[in-house]
Amino acid sequence: MLPRQGRRRAEGETGLEVSVGEMVQLRSGFQLRVEDAYAAGYTGGGTMRLNPMEILEARWCAPDDLPEGLLESHRRLIEASRP
């Protein structure tokens, strides 16, 4: 996925405007499923409107206050991105 596509995808799924940086993870798995993760930052634009076909829940939280039930792989990505 290219940064421009990532911005469109993020905006389409969340309503938020982001800047997309480098790829931080690429995994393949069951039945050719591919997961890609990119560093991204909220640019301050847009209004959070979730696409229910893509995202079940979203909220802002501090890296030290991540919610229970967060996938461990997502927790590691968040923790690895901290300065």
Q: How much is the pTM?
A: 0.69
pLDDT digits (tens, 9 = 90+) for 52-75: 888 888 888 888 899 999 989 888
Transcribe 10-39 into DSSP letters: HHHHHSEEEEEEEEEEEEE-GGG-EEEEEE
pLDDT digits (tens, 9 = 90+) for 3-48: 678 888 889 889 999 998 888 888 887 777 788 888 888 999 999 9
